[in-house]
Amino acid sequence: MSIEIKNINKSFGSFEALSNINLTIKHGELAALLGPSGSGKTTLLRIIAGLESPDSGEIIFHDEMANTSKIKNGEVGFVFQHYALFRHMNIFENVAFGLKVRKRNIRPSKAEIEEKVHSLLKLVQLDNFQYRYPSELSGGQRQRVALARALAIEPKFLLLDEPFGALDAKVRKELRNWVRRLHDEIHITSVFVTHDQEEALEVSDTVVILRSGKIEQIGSPDEVYNKPKSPFVFNFLGDVNLFHGRIHEGKAVIGNVDVESPDHAALENSAAVAYVRPYDVEILRSKDQGIAAEIQYIHSTGRNVRVELKRKDTGTLIESVLEQENYKALNLLPGETVYLRIKKATVYVDDDFSI
């Protein structure tokens, strides 16, 4: 089942939560709704689920036979951030709940329910935990139970509202990798909400970035990260250094360093900002074509070393990430003066910031 979102608008009093949202989620796709708090991602998810009504616009569901349908009871599986498991029921009973409460004429037999639940618990790797209660499980295990319960009703699509938000970092990483593998196995159309950029980029097929109730960019994880359409997207999707300069002859001139910017060639002398990821800031010993900076702090974290520097000319703080091998070869020390080279940058001028 694919989901077509057409011209959705939603306000709460004077607050505009969603403004003219248009989006298609393809059959079998795992889409992430990503954005800061208040961007409208959870409101959009609840409208898709039928838990909220839009002020205008519509949600259209298309089944595999290309027919249009409205959402029906049992077609959606919803997984909440805080599990929402029944504490007085064991794991088997929690997963079976949605099947047992069906109307008599569509309710599976007891044997069919048992077979279905056992199959799902095996799928989520909890087949030996059926008689335990939620309080006896870890956070990651409880979230897998919640997922099995959502899948038990055989929904046509699956919605997840910040499903890993209540977990610690290690468990969150393990569970999101597991969910990605599970999705590849069952191919159910899925939408999940997150404010965690790394999570969205690692797990999803498509990332929908929202800002103040509007869609800022839609694309694959690679597209939104490596080809951000606006300064907001670039800044939101990871650490970034800002180098201020001016456009001259198709280049952004930053101190004594030039950064190619052919798209802005017609904007001679316009103020420009080069957005640069920390791993694209190279540290050199030679001052030729480099920006002088003083090393402030050095943080060694596993395979990478994070170096904080202060530019000599502007006093701006800059961050560079080096591999251990490169760091050892440079033999860097706090207080030293080194020179920075920009390996790769995306340049924006004033007009870009109004997007």
Residue 102 three-state SS: coil
- CATH label of the domain that carries residue 167: 3.40.50.300
Same-domain check for residues 150 and 129: yes
Tell how strand 251-254 and strand 317-323 pair up.
Answer: unpaired
Residue 42 near residue 193 (C-beta atoms within 8 A) = yes
For the stretch 120-159, pLDDT in tens is: 898 888 889 999 999 999 888 888 888 888 888 888 888 9
Q: What is the CATH number of the domain that holds 261?
A: 2.40.50.100
SS3 for 222? helix
Which residues are bridge partners to 60 per DSSP? 4
Residue 122 C-alpha from the chain's centroid: 28
Question: Are residues 266 and 222 located together in one domain of the fold?
Answer: no
Q: For residues 169 and 257, state if they share a domain.
A: no
- Is residue 236 situated within a structural domain? no
Same domain, 73 and 220: yes
Q: How far is CA 209 from CA 11, 197, 212, in A?
A: 19, 10, 10
- Is the torsion defined by CA of 230, 221, 240, 19 positive or negative? positive
- Do 158 and 296 fall into the same domain? no
User: Mean pLDDT throughout 212-237?
Assistant: 94
Q: Is the dihedral of CA 244, 246, 250, 253 positive or negative?
A: negative
Question: Are residues 211 and 256 both part of a single domain?
Answer: no
The count of structural domains within the chain is: 2
* Per-residue model confidence (pLDDT) at position 184: 86
* Nearest alpha carbon to residue 88 among 134, 127, 37: 134
Kindly report the pTM of this predicted structure: 0.82
Higher per-residue confidence, 157 vs 243:
243
User: Do residues 77 and 151 touch, judged by C-beta distance below 8 A?
Assistant: yes
In a domain, 186, yes or no: yes
Task: Please check whether residue 52 lies inside any domain of the structure.
Answer: yes
Q: Spell 258-291 as b/e; 16+ CB within 10 A means b.
A: bbebeebeebeeeebbbbbbbbbbbbeeeeeebb
Cα→Cα distances 322→1, 158, 191, 192, Å: 45, 40, 36, 33
CA distance 336 to 295: 6
Considering 201, 231, 261, which residue would you say is the last residue of a domain? Answer: 231
In this structure, the answer to whether residues 275 and 191 fall within a common structural domain is: no
Instruction: Return mean pLDDT, the chain.
Output: 88
In a 13 Å sphere around the CA of 86, the CA atoms on its Cβ side amount to: 12
Paired tokens of 274: 């080069």
Confidence of residue 63 (pLDDT cuts 50, 70, 90): low
Question: Which pLDDT score is estimated for 213?
Answer: 97
113-148: burial string, b at 16+ Cβ within 10 Å, e else:
beebbeebbebbebeebbeebbeebebbbbbbbbbb
Is the model's pLDDT at 67 over the cut of 70? no
E-assigned strand segments in the chain: 2-12, 15-25, 30-34, 56-62, 68-69, 76-79, 157-161, 189-194, 206-211, 214-219, 241-248, 251-254, 257-260, 271-276, 281-284, 291-301, 304-311, 317-323, 337-342, 346-349
Q: Do 227 and 246 reside in the same domain of the chain?
A: no
Q: Is the pLDDT reported for residue 66 higher than 90?
A: no
Residue 48, classified by CB atoms within 10 Å of its CB into exposed (0-12), middle (13-18) or buried (19+), is buried
Q: How confident is the model at residue 71 (pLDDT cuts 50, 70, 90)?
A: low
Residue 35 and residue 71 share a domain: yes
Q: Which of 195, 212, 231 is the last residue of a domain?
A: 231
Residue 353 has pLDDT above 70, yes or no: no
Among 231, 265, 299, the domain boundary falls at 231
* Region of residue 140 (left: phi > 0; alpha: psi -120 to 50; beta: else): alpha
Query: Do 109 and 198 fall within a single domain?
Result: yes
Apex CA 210: angle with CA 205 and CA 213, to 5°? 145
Tell me if 123 is assigned to some domain.
yes
Q: What pLDDT score was predicted for residue 351?
A: 59
Domain carrying residue 202: 2-231
Cβ atoms of 345 and 234 within 8 Å: the answer is: no
User: Residue 287 pLDDT more than 90?
Assistant: no
User: Are residues 127 and 92 both part of a single domain?
Assistant: yes
CB 171 within 8 Å of CB 138: yes
Is 70 a member of any domain?
yes
What 3-state class would DSSP assign to 189? strand
Neighbours of 77 (CB within 10 A): 24
pLDDT of residue 354: 52
Residues 220 and 257 in one domain: no
